Chains A and B, each alone.
Chain A
C-alpha cells in the first residue's frame, strides 16, 4: 500500500502533520526563549518582554517568569516586574534569586511589601503543587496500606505504622488546605503606573481617594467591572482601574 497516495490516506497525512507539529513545537519554544534572552542581553527590553509573553502562552516556568520580571524591571516597570517575581515565587517559593530580585525591586521603587502572616510564611516553604503531591502520595500510601491490612488481618501487629502514616497524612492535608487557601485567598496586585488614581467607587466619576506609585503593593478585595477593589499596606481601601495594576496569580 502506498501511504503517499493522498486520495486514500488523508488521515495518515493529517496524523503526520500533527506528529511533526508536536515534535517541532518544543524546538520553536526553546528558540523563542533563546531569542528572548538575546533581546534582553542586547538591552532590547520591550522586545524581550514581548518574546517572553509569547512564550508564556505555551506554558509557564519560574525561570520564564523570573526573566520576564527582569525585563520589566530593566524597562522601568517596577509593578509589572514585582508581579512577575511574585508569580514565579508561587511556582518556586524558595528560589533565592527571585526573592533577592523582588527585594531589590521594592528597594528601587521605594515601596514597602505588605507583610505576610506566620501561617503564610510556613505554608510558603513549599509551593501549592509540592504540598499537593506530597499529600497525595502520603494519602494514597495510607489508603493502600489500610486496604492491605483489611485483606490480611495478620499484618495488624504493626498498627503503629498506620497511626504514624495517618497522622502524617492529616498534618500534610492541613498544610495543603492552608496552601490552597493562601494561593486562592491571598490575592495581591501591584500598581503599574505612577499617579494612577484610587477612587471611592468603581466608576470613573467616583471621587479620588489617593494616587499610587508604580510598584505599590495592594491586597485585592474584589472586582466590579473594570475596577478592582484594593487595600494598601496602611489599610486605605478604594477602587483602581484594572489597567493600572498587575495581578500576582500565575
Chain B
C-alpha cells in the first residue's frame, strides 16, 4: 500500500512539473491577398490573466475567432492547452513579420516566437492555374533566385471544397527533389466558400545553373459535387437539404511552372577542398584526450549543424603526417521534416605514431554561404596534444594494431600473408543465368504438373464410368459385339452353322437388352415385339429380328445352312445393330 501511494505521489509530482510555454502558429506561411489564414496562440499549462492582443500590422487585418481548451495526457506528461484563434487577412502583397506576443500569467510572463507571413497576388496566373469553385492548387517556391546546390523550399497548396486527392506530381528538371513529408491541413475561406487546405512541402536543390523552371505541378482529384446544385427546386422543398446527393467528378488540376534563376557557384575564391556544400553551418570539435602514448588512439568528435545541404558537408579522412587515421564513423540527423536543417557527426580515430607530435592539426571544412554570397571555412583547432613515448618496441605495436583491425574479418582465423593461389582447372564453364530465368527449366518443370493433371482427368473418367451402369453395359456390349462379329466370320468360313446361330443369338440378346434396358437372358422374339414398338423401332427392323431369332431357333434342331445364307444373316445382323443404335 505504501508503495502504491509512493507511485501515485511520484506520478502527480511528474504531472505537476510540466513545462509552461506559449506557442504561436500560422496555418500557412503563404497566402493570397484577401484570403484568410488562421493564426493561433497556444498557452500550455498556464492560464493567461487577459486575452492576448496582437499589435496592429499595416496591410493585415486581424480579427478574433474564438478560443478552445484541450487536455492531453500521455507519456508521463499532462498538457493543458488554452488556444486563442485569430483570422488574419492581408490587404496587399509582401512579407509580413508577426511579432512575438507577450502573455501575462500568475506564474510569469510568456512570449511567443515571431512568425513570417508571405502574401502573394490573389489572381496571379503564375501561382494559380485553375480558379475553380471546387478545387485549385498553388505552387509557391520560396525564392526565385538561388545558387547551384542551394535548397529551395517549395510549397504546394491544394484548396479543395470536398473530395479526395492524390499526391502532387511536380516537374522539376534540373532539380533534385526531396520526398514530401505528411501534408499539413488547415481551412480557408475564399468568398463564400470554405476550403480544406492541404499544404505539401518539399525542397528542390538545383543541380545546374541557368534559367530553370520548377513546375508545372499536377494533381488528380475527385471532387464531390452536389447534384442538386444546378437544379434547385422552384418550390420551397423542406427535404432538399436532407436528400442531397453527391456525385464524384474526377479532375486534373494544375499550377503553372515558376521561373527560378540558378546561378553557378563562383569560381573565384573557391577553396581547394570545397565539395559543394551550400548553406549556413557551424562546427564544434573536441578530442577525447589530449595526452596519449604513441600508438594509442585519439577520437575526435566533430559536430556540424546548420541549414542547407548538410549531407554534402564531408569531413575528409585526414592525411596528416605522423598520424595513422581510419575511416570516420558518420551519423546524420535531420532536425526538421523537410531536411533543411540537420546535424552531422563524425567520429574520427587517429593514432599518433611518434612522440614528436605537439598538436592535432586544425580541422577545416569549406562551404558556400548564399546569404553573404561568399565561401566560408568552418575551422576548429589546432588542439595541443602531448604524446608520451611508448615503452613497447615498434614491431610489437604494429602487430597488435594489425590484429585488432582484422579481427572482424578473419574471425580469429590464422592470418594470411597473401591470397590463395589460382586454380588450374577451369571447372565446367556454363551459363550463369539462374535456372528460374530459363524457359527450358519451366518447360521441364511442367512435366510432373502435366502428369498430375493427366491422372486427375483419368480419375475423373474412371469415376464417371463407375457411377454410370448404362455406360458400363454399353461398352461391354460393344466389346462382345465386336468380338462376336469376328468370330461369326470365322464360323462362316468353317461352315459351323450351329455355333454360328448360338453366337448370333447371344449378340442379338445383348444388343436388345441394352436397347430396352432389360436383362439379356431370356429375351425371345415374342417378348421384345411390344417394347420395340414402344421404342419406335421400324417394322422392317423388327421383321429382320424376328427372322434372325426364328433362324436361330430352327438351327438348334437342324443346323445345316449354306455359307451364303449365313453371310446374309451377318448383313442382317449389322443392319439391326445399326438401326438399334
Interface residues of A (CB under 8 A from B): 29-30, 33-34, 37, 40-41, 55, 58-64, 66-67, 70-71, 73-74, 90-91, 97, 100-101, 103-107, 110-113, 128-129, 132-133, 136, 139-141, 143-144, 146-148, 150-151, 180, 183, 199-201, 203, 205-211, 234-236, 250
- Chain B residue with the shortest CB-CB distance to A150: B455
Q: Decide if A209 touches B456 in the complex (CB within 8 Å).
A: no
Q: Decide if B452 touches A91 in the complex (CB within 8 Å).
A: no
> Could you pull out 9 A-B pairs where Cβ atoms are within 8 angstroms?
A107-B410, A113-B409, A128-B435, A129-B434, A146-B452, A207-B278, A208-B276, A208-B312, A209-B311
Given A59-B430, A106-B409, A140-B448, output 7 extra A-B contacts at Cβ < 8 Å.
Answer: A34-B424, A64-B426, A70-B421, A104-B418, A129-B435, A201-B176, A211-B316
Residue among B207, B406, B455 making CB contact with A151, cutoff 8 Å: B455
Q: Decide if A200 touches B205 in the complex (CB within 8 Å).
A: yes
Within 8 A of A (CB), among B261-283: 275-278
Residue among A41, A55, A97, A129 making CB contact with B426, cutoff 8 Å: A55
Q: Please tell me if B330 contacts chain A, counting CB pairs below 8 Å.
A: yes
B316 partner residues in chain A, CB cutoff 8 A = 211
Residue among A144, A208, A235 making CB contact with B448, cutoff 8 Å: A144
- Chain B residue with the shortest CB-CB distance to A87: B432
Residue among A63, A100, A151, A234 making CB contact with B423, cutoff 8 Å: A63
Q: A71 to B419, alpha carbons, bound, how many Å?
A: 10
Q: Decide if A206 touches B311 in the complex (CB within 8 Å).
A: no
A100 partner residues in chain B, CB cutoff 8 A = 413, 416, 420
B451 partner residues in chain A, CB cutoff 8 A = 143-144, 147
- Chain B residue with the shortest CB-CB distance to A136: B445
B525 to chain A, nearest CB (A): 46
Q: A112 to B407, alpha carbons, bound, how many Å?
A: 11
Q: A62 to B410, alpha carbons, bound, how many Å?
A: 22
A58 to chain B, nearest CB (A): 6
Residue among A58, A73, A180 making CB contact with B434, cutoff 8 Å: A180
A209 partner residues in chain B, CB cutoff 8 A = 275-276, 311-312, 314
Q: Please tell me if B408 contacts chain A, counting CB pairs below 8 Å.
A: yes
Q: A235 to B422, alpha carbons, bound, how many Å?
A: 35
Known contacts A200-B205, A207-B309; A105/B419 CB under 8 A: yes
Q: Please tell me if B440 contacts chain A, counting CB pairs below 8 Å.
A: no
Q: Decide if B427 touches A61 in the complex (CB within 8 Å).
A: yes
A51 to chain B, nearest CB (A): 12
The 4 closest A-B pairs by CB, nearest first: A207-B276, A59-B429, A61-B427, A143-B448
A37 partner residues in chain B, CB cutoff 8 A = 422, 424
Q: Decide if B311 touches A236 in the complex (CB within 8 Å).
A: yes
Q: Decide if B452 touches A147 in the complex (CB within 8 Å).
A: yes
Q: Decide if A33 touches B426 in the complex (CB within 8 Å).
A: yes
Q: A103 to B418, alpha carbons, bound, how many Å?
A: 11
Known contacts A129-B434, A205-B148; A101/B420 CB under 8 A: yes
Q: Please tell me if B339 contacts chain A, counting CB pairs below 8 Å.
A: no
B422 partner residues in chain A, CB cutoff 8 A = 37, 40-41, 66-67, 70-71
A133 partner residues in chain B, CB cutoff 8 A = 435
Q: Decide if B427 touches A200 in the complex (CB within 8 Å).
A: no
Q: Please tell me if B358 contacts chain A, counting CB pairs below 8 Å.
A: no
Known contacts A63-B427, A208-B312, A236-B311; A180/B410 CB under 8 A: no
Known contacts A207-B148, A208-B312, A209-B314; A91/B448 CB under 8 A: no
- Chain A residue with the shortest CB-CB distance to B275: A208
Q: Please tell me if B329 contacts chain A, counting CB pairs below 8 Å.
A: yes
Contact code string B288-328 (vs A, CB < 8 Å = 1, else 0): 00000000000000000000010110101000000000110
Q: A125 to B223, alpha carbons, bound, how many Å?
A: 55
B432 partner residues in chain A, CB cutoff 8 A = 59-60, 90-91, 250
Q: Please tell me if B441 contacts chain A, counting CB pairs below 8 Å.
A: yes
Q: A222 to B148, alpha carbons, bound, how many Å?
A: 24
Q: Decide if B208 touches A203 in the complex (CB within 8 Å).
A: yes
A222 to chain B, nearest CB (A): 14
Residue among A74, A90, A104, A236 making CB contact with B330, cutoff 8 Å: A236
Q: A100 to B421, alpha carbons, bound, how many Å?
A: 11
Q: Please tell me if B252 contacts chain A, counting CB pairs below 8 Å.
A: no
- Chain A residue with the shortest CB-CB distance to B454: A147
- Chain B residue with the shortest CB-CB distance to A56: B429
Q: A178 to B447, alpha carbons, bound, how many Å?
A: 24
Q: Please tell me if B449 contacts chain A, counting CB pairs below 8 Å.
A: yes
Q: Decide if A104 touches B312 in the complex (CB within 8 Å).
A: no
B459 partner residues in chain A, CB cutoff 8 A = 150-151
By CB atoms of chain B within 10 A, which of A74, A133, A136 has the most? Answer: A136
Q: A13 to B436, alpha carbons, bound, how many Å?
A: 38
B298 to chain A, nearest CB (A): 19
Q: Decide if B276 touches A63 in the complex (CB within 8 Å).
A: no
Q: Decide if A61 touches B426 in the complex (CB within 8 Å).
A: yes
Known contacts A63-B423, A151-B458; A128/B434 CB under 8 A: yes
B436 partner residues in chain A, CB cutoff 8 A = 128, 132, 180
- Chain A residue with the shortest CB-CB distance to B421: A70
A140 partner residues in chain B, CB cutoff 8 A = 445, 447-448
- Chain B residue with the shortest CB-CB distance to A60: B432
Q: Decide if B429 touches A200 in the complex (CB within 8 Å).
A: no
B405 partner residues in chain A, CB cutoff 8 A = 107, 110
